[in-house]
Structure 1
């Protein structure tokens, strides 16, 4: 009896150990931090590999695309946000709530103004009708009283029209300001707050629009090499500066094409209207520029060490969705990482660098 219990305990221990190892491998493979949220997600996924969460993950990753924090949040497993992420999210929520409140006030203001103008118009109409009746009854030969009444009505009408125009001008100005702020809010929803680049949502929308228009598309996926070690050695503030520097270089070198921060230390470049060789030359120039820079800590002027990124580049085929092209580019990125990093691999083998 005791022996049977020992065997069952050993089997349970072995099973837990295997699950623990698989969770670790999953987090490393997906480049996810080993925080409680990500660990819980991996546990629910791997403990029930045939469950609905697993099926959703398999459909989303399409056999190779890495998950992001946003994917995990969308699938219903919360990731613990960092203090900075929480602060940014809170600020965005507060700004959105403020815009909603101001929009509501603006609409209510328009309604009140139109109601008041309608009341004034009705009052003016009554006055005009009464005065017309008085004029028709006037029996004075010179008609002076009638002229005086017309003058009084005309003056009153002009005063009311000018008052209405002033209020309309003020309301129009407020509406223009509000429209500008709403457009800014919509733009911010498609922009990464750290690098000021378009975000994943923006590149998804841009890809769909360009694909619908029949534009020739190439997609590059770029990932900063050994970025975790930068954060570990120098802190996240320095890591953020590195991301900003690479974002700036990609934007300048790939001008005319959409450069986005896809998530974490990963960037995507949507090349449109050029062939894959032109896209390759442009992206490799950005890679070389980043690799030849000598980065230093601004606080101490100490060298930061070499900063590089690896990339994969693929051309979209007719009918390809973003996930399909991203999957191919991502596989090439992994190939570039495996081959030694600081290199670009392109879909055609003869153009690999």
Structure 2
């Protein structure tokens, strides 16, 4: 029997391949599908996906409602509340430190203002006392401000780490759909001509069916590493499932050549099954390459055009790159 960890990994990989978000209800359906404890649910899902058709969110919701019932969001709500409380606690601590530093410097300013007449009347003794108090206040303010700065830095680093994790695919280390969207949203990326390419590993399902999802995951990681290595000067992300995207600052003609070079480099790698040393054969992908419009509103049409070219490449025999 598969372990809970293995079933969880398979469920998440399946959701990714179906381009479904890992929401509580979707994850519960995927987990139930892979643990096999609901045969009728497994049969219903397979009736949809066995021919390579991706299951839709609407179909997922219908199956979940029928076989598993409404899932409670209470645990997700508690998790969100805990994260919010932790951030709020840190924010309050920073506010208190900043307020304390502000109060200290304000007190010093008021005391200095009050002491000015004394300087004129009492001479150097008052001056020395004032300097001592000034030094003490200044040192205290510096310590508190330094503590505030350190806290702010720690919070910034934590937030950057969370954001980085949210925008990066856990399996391959490449930017995920959120990271890709962030990259596409930067105006600097659209100052010059760019191309957008979608690459899909040929016959990827056969690797999972023949060798298991662990080997399929290794294939995905190897393809990702090969693309990163060959296209080091360009943006590479995981679009979802066995699909990767490339964004390069060039025109379509040169973009096709870039992707062809990446495909050739992948084809020159020799793959063996780690457990038995059995050769796995050449791993290939098909791709569609299109110009990336300057206007973000036109991106969806470009993605659809690249996807159409990709499937033309598949229908033409796979292991091909089509540009348009």
* CA deviation string 1:217-250 (max 9, x = no partner): 2111111122222122322222222111111111
Contact map agreement 1:250 1:259 (CA 8 A) in 2: yes
Which protein shows a greater Rg? 1
Alpha-carbon deviation of 1:178?
A: 2.4
Q: What is residue 340 of structure 1 aligned with on the other side?
A: 317
Q: What is residue 163 of structure 1 aligned with on the other side?
A: 140
Match of 2:255 among 276, 279, 286: 279
What pairs up with 1:313-328 in 2 under 5 angstroms?
A: 313-316=289-292, 321-328=298-305
The alignment status of 1:237 with 2:204, answered yes or no, reads no
Q: Distance in 2 between matches of 1:334 and 1:291?
A: 20
Q: What is residue 206 of structure 1 aligned with on the other side?
A: 183
Q: Structure 1 94/245 Cα, relative in aligned 2: closer, same or farther at 3 Å?
A: farther
Match of 1:176 among 149, 153, 170: 153
The alignment status of 1:105 with 2:120, answered yes or no, reads no
Q: Distance in 2 between matches of 1:96 and 1:129?
A: 48
The alignment status of 1:114 with 2:102, answered yes or no, reads yes
Q: Structure 1 100/346 Cα, relative in aligned 2: closer, same or farther at 3 Å?
A: farther
Q: What is residue 7 of structure 2 aligned with on the other side?
A: none
Alpha-carbon deviation of 1:93?
A: 9.8
Q: Distance in 1 between matches of 2:162 and 2:304?
A: 31
Q: What is residue 128 of structure 2 aligned with on the other side?
A: 151
Aligned with 2:130: secondary structure? helix
Q: What is residue 232 of structure 2 aligned with on the other side?
A: 255
Contact map agreement 1:203 1:270 (CA 8 A) in 2: no
Q: What is residue 60 of structure 2 aligned with on the other side?
A: 40
Aligned with 1:305: secondary structure? coil
Q: Structure 1 102/229 Cα, relative in aligned 2: closer, same or farther at 3 Å?
A: farther
Q: Structure 1 131/299 Cα, relative in aligned 2: closer, same or farther at 3 Å?
A: farther
Deviates more, 1:226-235 or 1:155-164: 226-235
What pairs up with 1:301-312 in 2 under 5 angstroms?
A: 301-312=277-288
TM-score (norm 1): 0.64
Aligned with 2:280: secondary structure? strand
The alignment status of 1:296 with 2:260, answered yes or no, reads no
Aligned with 2:232: secondary structure? coil
How many pairs align? Answer: 271
* CA deviation string 1:249-305 (max 9, x = no partner): 111212222111011111111122x12121111111111121221112334433333
TM-score (norm 2): 0.69
Q: What is residue 54 of structure 2 aligned with on the other side?
A: 31
Aligned with 1:219: secondary structure? strand
Contact map agreement 1:221 1:266 (CA 8 A) in 2: yes
